[in-house]
């Protein structure tokens, strides 16, 4: 529930119809602005957040199924001549694996 706001006192002369028209246009602009804010707030809460939750649930479910499959049937190493070429050791870790090496998805070569 929005909290009540104190309206600032405006001392504009209302003697001419032009200033009355300008005040009316300002009032309409403020009302439209408030309606737009409320509309986007409702869209964010009732459309965007549930959509993100549903997409996250579906993608995580599929990812967990993929991980389960890979754990039971790991990939085998195929010795291509351009794979596992090391001219010098990496400066981190054991020197043989990149920072992106994953023990589940990247098989070790048979020496």
Q: pLDDT tens across 18-28, in order?
A: 687 788 888 88
In contact, 86 and 96? CB cutoff 8 Å: yes
- Report the Cα–Cα distance between both ends of the chain, in Å, rounded: 69
Mean pLDDT of 30-49: 88
In contact, 92 and 99? CB cutoff 8 Å: yes
pTM value is 0.50
pLDDT of residue 80: 87
């Amino acid at each position: 529930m929005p909290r009540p706001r104190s309206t600032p006192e405006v001392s504009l002369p209302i003697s001419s119809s032009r200033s009355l028209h300008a005040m009316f246009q300002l009032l309409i602009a403020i009302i439209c602005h408030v309606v737009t804010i409320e509309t986007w707030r409702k869209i964010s809460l009732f459309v965007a957040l549930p959509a993100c939750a549903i997409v996250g649930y579906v993608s995580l479910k599929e990812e967990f199924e993929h991980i389960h499959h890979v754990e039971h049937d790991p990939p085998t190493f195929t010795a291509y001549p351009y794979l596992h070429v090391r001219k010098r050791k990496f400066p981190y870790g054991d020197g043989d694996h990149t920072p992106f090496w994953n023990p589940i998805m990247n098989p070790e070569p048979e020496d």
